[in-house]
Amino acid sequence: MPQSFVINNAPLELLGVDELALIHSNYAPMDTWLLDKLFPRRKSFTTSTVPIAELETESDIAPLVAPQIPGKPFDRTTAIQVQHLNPAYLKPKNQITPATAWDTALLARLRDSNIISTGSNQLSTSEQYVIAQIETMKRNHDAIDNRKILMAAELVTTGQIILESDDYTKNVVSYGRDASLAFTPANAWDQVGATPVEDIDTMAQRMLDEDGGEAKMILTTGKVWSVLEKNADFKAKFVAPYAGISVPYRPELNASRSAKFKGYLGDIEIWTYDATYKNKGQTKRFIPQDYFALIADNNGYVTQCKIENIHANGLALEYFDRQWYEEDPSGIMLLTESAPLVVPSNKNGICGGTGFITL
Question: Is the per-residue pLDDT at 199 higher than 90?
Answer: yes
Residue type, 43: K
Residue type, 148: K
Look at strands 160-165 and 350-353 and give their pairing: unpaired
Please state the rounded mean pLDDT for residues 118-137.
Answer: 80
- Ramachandran category for residue 199: left, alpha or beta (phi over 0 → left; psi -120 to 50 → alpha): alpha
Provide the whole-model pTM.
0.85
How much is the CA Rg of the chain, to the nearest whole Å?
Answer: 25
Tell me the per-residue pLDDT of 103-114, one tens digit each, with 9 for 90 and over. Answer: 777 777 777 777
Please answer whether residues 97 and 295 qualify as being in contact, where contact means their C-beta atoms are separated by less than 8 angstroms. no
Cβ-in-10-Å burial (0-12, 13-18, 19+) of 99 comes to: buried
3-54+83-173+300-343: CATH class: alpha beta
Tell me the per-residue pLDDT of 269-305, one tens digit each, with 9 for 90 and over. Answer: 999 999 998 887 889 999 999 999 999 999 999 999 9
The architecture (CATH level 2) of 177-299+346-353 comes to: 2-Layer Sandwich (3.30)
Please name the residues in contact with 38: beta carbons below 8 A apart, sequence gap of 6 or more.
Answer: 152, 156, 295, 297, 298, 300
Please answer whether residues 291 and 157 qualify as being in contact, where contact means their C-beta atoms are separated by less than 8 angstroms. yes
Instruction: Map out the domains of the chain as residue ranges.
Output: 3-54+83-173+300-343, 177-299+346-353
Nearest CA to 106 out of 87, 133, 126 is that of 133
Distance CA 330, CA 324 (A): 11
